[in-house]
Amino acid sequence: NFNQKKYFLINLKDLEIFDNDTVVTRELLLKKSLIKKNTSDIKILANGTFTKKLTVQASKFSNKAQELIQQVGGNVEILKVA
């Protein structure tokens, strides 16, 4: 579809590199080379094991990813899609 939104996909297992209580922002993902510089919209997927208590900021989350983040005491912050 021509108008379909394109998201940069990140798996929860990729966020395991961060320490508990980290706020995972677009800037932090860029600093850790998990996204490219021109990436604006990020979607978090539930692939892999996830154990960290993080606050994750992204444009979109799969339902399962959101559930897993909250199960371990983390928070989800949905950012406005560019």
pLDDT at 44 exceeding the cut of 90: yes
What's the average model confidence in pLDDT over 31-38? Answer: 93
Is there a domain that residue 63 lies in? Answer: yes
Q: Give the CA-trace dihedral at 70, 72, 74, 76, to 10 degrees.
A: -30
Listed residue (18, 16, 37, 41) closest to 27, CA to CA: 37
Q: What pLDDT shows up at residue 23?
A: 98
pTM: 0.91
Domain that holds residue 39: 8-78
CA distance readout (Å), 75 to 4, 6, 24, 33: 27, 24, 10, 22
Count up the domains in the chain and report the number. Answer: 1
The CATH number linked to 62 is 3.100.10.10
Exposed (0-12), middle (13-18) or buried (19+): which is 43, by Cβ within 10 Å?
middle
